[in-house]
C-alpha cells in the first residue's frame, strides 16, 4: 500500500476498520448493523507485535553481479527464442523460454513478456495435449496473470495425466486466500521429506499467509542455508518477500526497510523492491531520496508503478512534471489493464484511487473486481482504501467487516 500522505491515511483508516470488524463478532451477519464509526480514525496504522529486529544479510556466499545476472538472463531469452524459431514445436526449448520470460518479468517488470508466454504455452498445449507438463506450464503463466480459476482447471487436467500438482495448486490457493490451513499442513509435510530451497520458501509463504510471521521469517532464512547457486535473484527475492511480509502483512515497516535494501544490494534494478523501498523512504521523511530512486528506475521498465508513484510525490513541488508522469502511468495502466486485467487490478486500483491517478471511481471498480478474484488480506485492504478514496465509507465498513469474519 502507498505510504505517501493521502494514501497513508487511507491505509491507516483501512487498518482501523479491519481491527474494529475483527472485534465485533456480531458483524459477521450481513443483517446486523455496522458498529464501526462513520468516519474512521486515521491517526496511526495498526502495528502488530513482532521481534525487535530480524537478521538481514544472512547469506554471505558470493553471487553474480546483479546487472550481469539480468543481462545474462536477457541473453538466454534471446538464445532460446532463436532455438524455438529454428526448432518449431520443440517442447524443451519452448518451456525454457517461458520460464525465463516469467523470471525476467518478476524482477524488471517486462510485462510484455506475459503476452509471449501466454502465446507459447497455448501453442504447447495444442501440440502436446497428452503431456502433463504442458498443462502445468500453462497453469503457471495463467497464475502469474491472476487467471486463477483457469489455472486450477489446467492443474486438474495435469493431475489426471499423472502430474503431482500439489504445490502449484497450493500457490494458487495462497494467492486466492483460501484453504490456507490445509496448504500449511501439506507444505510442512513436504518439507520434512525434501528439505530444499523451494520447499523452505513454500512453507515460509504459507506461514505468512496465516499470520505466523516469525515462523515464516525463519523458514525464509532456513532456505538460504541450503541455497547453492551463484545467481543473486533468489537471494534478492527472499529478502524482498521477507520485507513485504513484515511491512504489508505484519505492519512492521521498520523491519522491512533494511530487507529491501538488502535485496537491492544483490539486484539494484529489482523494480518492485525499489518501489517498496521508496515508499518506506517517504515514510522516514526521506522523500528526496525516494524521488531520485524512482526517477532512476522508471526509465528501465515499462512497469507504470514507479512512474505513477513519482508523479504522486511531485504533485506539490513540480506539478508540471508530475502531470507528465501521471499521464505516462495512466497510459501504461490502460494498456496493461486491457491486456491483463486480472493481473493489474490491484496496483491499478491503488494508482487511480490516489492523487496522481485521480479517478477514485475507476480505482474502486478495479478493487472490487480484484476482490472477485481473490479474498486475501491485501485485496481487502486495497478495496477498503479505494472505497475510502471514493468517499464510500459504508462500502469500506462492509469490506472491513468481511475481512474481519473471513
pLDDT digits (tens, 9 = 90+) for 8-45: 444 444 554 444 444 433 333 333 333 333 334 443 44
Domains 1-36+257-406 and 65-178 share a fold: yes
pLDDT digits (tens, 9 = 90+) for 112-156: 999 999 999 999 999 999 999 999 999 999 999 999 999 999 999
Q: Please state, in angstroms and rounded to a whole number, the distance separating the CA atoms of residues 192 and 55.
A: 24
**Predicted local distance difference test score (pLDDT) of residue 395:** 86
Are the CB atoms for 331 and 380 separated by under 8 Å? Answer: no
Fold of 1-36+257-406: 1.25.40
Scored b (16 or more CB within 10 A) or e, 57-76 reads eebeeebbebeebbeebeeb
Domain 65-178: give its CATH code.
1.25.40.10
Helices (H), 210-359: 213-225, 232-244, 253-266, 271-283, 287-297, 304-314, 319-339, 345-353
**C-alpha pair distances (Å), 183 with each of 192, 229, 326:** 14, 27, 40
Using DSSP, state whether 231 is helix, strand or coil. coil
Q: Please return the burial class of 329, using the count of CB atoms within 10 Å of its CB with bins 0-12, 13-18 and 19+.
A: buried
CB atoms within 10 A of CB 331: 12
Give pLDDT < 70 ranges for the chain.
Answer: 1-49, 403-406
Are the CB atoms for 254 and 3 separated by under 8 Å? Answer: no
**Predicted local distance difference test score (pLDDT) of residue 399:** 77
**Predicted local distance difference test score (pLDDT) of residue 48:** 59
Q: Please state, in angstroms and rounded to a whole number, the distance separating the CA atoms of residues 57 and 276.
A: 18
**Predicted local distance difference test score (pLDDT) of residue 57:** 84
pTM (2 d.p.): 0.88
Q: Is the dihedral of CA 262, 265, 266, 267 positive or negative?
A: positive
Are the CB atoms for 393 and 39 separated by under 8 Å? Answer: yes
**Residue 303 carries which DSSP code?**
-
Domain range list for the chain: 1-36+257-406, 65-178
Amino acid at each position: 500500500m502507498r505510504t505517501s500522505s493521502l494514501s497513508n491515511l487511507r491505509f491507516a483508516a483501512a487498518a482501523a476498520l479491519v481491527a474494529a470488524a475483527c472485534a465485533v463478532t456480531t458483524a459477521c451477519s450481513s443483517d446486523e448493523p455496522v458498529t464501526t464509526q462513520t468516519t474512521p480514525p486515521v491517526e496511526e496504522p495498526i502495528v502488530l507485535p513482532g521481534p525487535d529486529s530480524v537478521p538481514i544479510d544472512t547469506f554471505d556466499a558470493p553471487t553474480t553481479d546483479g546487472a550481469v545476472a539480468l543481462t545474462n538472463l536477457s541473453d538466454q531469452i534471446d538464445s532460446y527464442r532463436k532455438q524455438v524459431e529454428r526448432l518449431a514445436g520443440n517442447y524443451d526449448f519452448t518451456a525454457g523460454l517461458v520460464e525465463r520470460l516469467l523470471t525476467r518479468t518478476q524482477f524488471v517488470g517486462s510485462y510484455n513478456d506475459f503476452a509471449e508466454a501466454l502465446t507459447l504455452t497455448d501453442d504447447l498445449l495444442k501440440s502436446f495435449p497428452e503431456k502433463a507438463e504442458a498443462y502445468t506450464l500453462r497453469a503457471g503463466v495463467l497464475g502469474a496473470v491472476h487467471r486463477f480459476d483457469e489455472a486450477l482447471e489446467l492443474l486438474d487436467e495435469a493431475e489426471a495425466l499423472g502430474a503431482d500438482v500439489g504445490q502449484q495448486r497450493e500457490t494458487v490457493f495462497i494467492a486466492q486466500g483460501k484453504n490456507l490451513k490445509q496448504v500449511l499442513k501439506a507444505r510442512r509435510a513436504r518439507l520434512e521429506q525434501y528439505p530444499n530451497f523451494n520447499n523452505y520458501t513454500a512453507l515460509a509463504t504459507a506461514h505468512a499467509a496465516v499470520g505466523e510471521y516469525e515462523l515464516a521469517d525463519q523458514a525464509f532464512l532456513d532456505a538460504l542455508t541450503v541455497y547453492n547457486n551463484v545467481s543473486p535473484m533468489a537471494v534478492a527475492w527472499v529478502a524482498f518477500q521477507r520485507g513485504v511480509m513484515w511491512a504489508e502483512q505484519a505492519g512492521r515497516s521498520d523491519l522491512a526497510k533494511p530487507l529491501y535494501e538488502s535485496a537491492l544490494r544483490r539486484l539494484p534494478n529489482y523494480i518492485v523492491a525499489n518501489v517498496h523501498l521508496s515508499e518506506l523512504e517517504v515514510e522516514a521523511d526521506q522523500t528526496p531520496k525516494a524521488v531520485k530512486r524512482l526517477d532512476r528506475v522508471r526509465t528501465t521498465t515499462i512497469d507504470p508503478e514507479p512512474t505513477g508513484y513519482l508523479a504522486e510525490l511531485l504533485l506539490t513541488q513540480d506539478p508540471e512534471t508530475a502531470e507528465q508522469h501521471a499521464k505516462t502511468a495512466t497510459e501504461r495502466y490502460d494498456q496493461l489493464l486491457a491486456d491483463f486485467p486480472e493481473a493489474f487490478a490491484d496496483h491499478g486500483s491503488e494508482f487511480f484511487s490516489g492523487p496522481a491517478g485521480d479517478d477514485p471511481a475507476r480505482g474502486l471498480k478495479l478493487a472490487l473486481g480484484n476482490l472477485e478474484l481473490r479474498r486475501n488480506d491485501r485485496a481487502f485492504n486495497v478495496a477498503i482504501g479505494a472505497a475510502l478514496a471514493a468517499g464510500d465509507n459504508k462500502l469500506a465498513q462492509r469490506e472491513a467487516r468481511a475481512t474481519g469474519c473471513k
